Amino acid sequence: MRIIHCCLSCFYIDGYTYQENMLVREHVSAGHEVLVLASTETFDSTGLTSYTSPSTYLGTDGAAVIRLPYSKWLPHRVMSKLRFHPGVYRLISDFKPNVIVFHGPCGAELLTVAKYVKQNTEVKLFVDSHEDFNNSARSWLSKLILYRGFYVPIIHSVRRVVEKFLYITYETKRFCKELYGLSDEELEFFPLGGVVLSDEEYKTQRLSARSRLNVPDDTVLFFQSGKFDHKKKLLESLRAFKSVQSQNARLVLVGSFASAIEAEAQSLIDSDARISYLGWANSDELLGLLCAADVYVQPGSQSATLQMSIAARCAVIIDDVASHRDIFRDNGFLVKNEEDLAKAMSACLNSQDQIANMSKNSLEFANQKLNYAVLAARLLK
């Protein structure tokens, strides 16, 4: 098949393991011809939003990537919100796709893609949504002018040619229904996923990473990652871990600190030799660390690494919210506060058999629902 992934309403960053990257990778691996149409939005070395130059190249996920500039009839700051790009219809027409996946419904080029699908009715269009009320339409100006005044009318005008609007969490579904006005029939659950390794690959990754970290077999390795701010509740994790006195426990951290918590986080890390902060990790390093870990810790706001950790057979300690309950399958602990977090960590240390059972449940659920190979294939049925 010929597949276009439109990343014009979101970032597409080479070398990362975001959903957009992984779906492209799986489609290429399955032998399909894949084109990525992307904006110039990316990350800089510190993880902040930046912009690169328009270009055409073979991306790290194996597909051709065409990075398009924003149209110039309004200032860049405005265009990066409205998301008009030149030449989109011509590029789609030249490629002649069978399937188009439009990542993020909030952008003007959704109209262009819908126009092509209306004129080529055999083409299937899926629109992927990651928005929720925690990360989008947070101010009245954004909600009333940008969303209700611009994005929502576009979504309503194209909904008849969209196969399904794909949502990643319960909160995203609520956003799609309440703000976009979409119905249950138009929506389909399409969670973030992960890479499910074979038993042999998993064991190799696990042994190698635990050896590098000098973690003995009888030590329970807790792992937390992300762009750490107050919402991620890293400080709560550090305090809870410090309250657990076992010497058969390690906590490894990967990511970056927001300035608001950096000093306190570093002080807590320095005060306990069982805690290691490794800085930023690339996608391959992150996968190895997840395989090395016994328990993935996410007591705060959501991260794509949670689904990756479940695919890597981790037990989980996660915030007790609706979206996490959607993917929780007796494979860890739901926690509401720091006290719950400390109790969950203690429980993990008291029973290696329990961790083994939770790991098994994570793998079973990942094979059924989170395997990116399975998710990618769903779009082509």
Residues 256 and 148 in one domain: no
Using 50 as the pLDDT threshold, list the residues of the chain that sit under it.
none
- Per-residue confidence (pLDDT) for residue 47, from 0 to 100: 65
Q: Give the tokens for residue 273.
A: 């030799």
Residue 377 lies in a domain: no
Residue 166 lies in a domain: yes
Query: Among residues 352, 339, 193, 215, which one has the least CA distance to residue 278?
Result: 215
Residues 186 and 203 in one domain: no
Residues 306 and 186 in one domain: no
Residue 269 lies in a domain: yes
Residues 180 and 128 in one domain: yes
Residues 212 and 90 in one domain: no
Domain count, the chain: 2
Residues 138 and 65 in one domain: yes
Residues 177 and 245 in one domain: no
Identify the helix (H) or strand (E) that includes residue 257.
strand 249-257
Annotate 60-114 with DSSP letters as a single string: TTSSEEEEPPPPSSS-HHHHHHH---TTHHHHHHHH--SEEEEE-S-STHHHHHH
Q: Read off the amino acid at residue 158.
A: V
| Last residue in a domain, options 126, 160, 190 | 190
Supply the angle between the helices 338-350 and 352-365 in degrees, to the nearest 10.
110
Residue 378 lies in a domain: no
Phi, psi of 329 (to 5 degrees): -135, 60
Residue where the block lists tokens 């329970």: 220
Rounded to whole angstroms, the Cα distance separating 140 from 284 reads 40
Q: How far is CA 125 from the centre of its chain?
A: 21
Residue 165 lies in a domain: yes
Q: For residue 209, what is the domain's CATH number?
A: 3.40.50.2000
Residues 300 and 360 in one domain: yes
Residue 51 lies in a domain: yes
| Last residue in a domain, options 169, 190, 211 | 190
- Domain membership of residue 356 as a residue range: 199-370
Identify the helix (H) or strand (E) that includes residue 157.
helix 152-158
Q: Read off the amino acid at residue 207.
A: L
Residues 41 and 185 in one domain: yes
Q: CB under 8 Å to 297, separation ≥6 — which residues?
A: 222, 223, 224, 237, 251, 316, 317, 318, 341
Residues 255 and 324 in one domain: yes
Residues 35 and 162 in one domain: yes
How crowded is residue 98: how many other Cβ atoms within 10 Å of its Cβ?
15
Residue 16 lies in a domain: yes
Residue 379 lies in a domain: no
Residues 76 and 224 in one domain: no
| Last residue in a domain, options 157, 190, 223 | 190
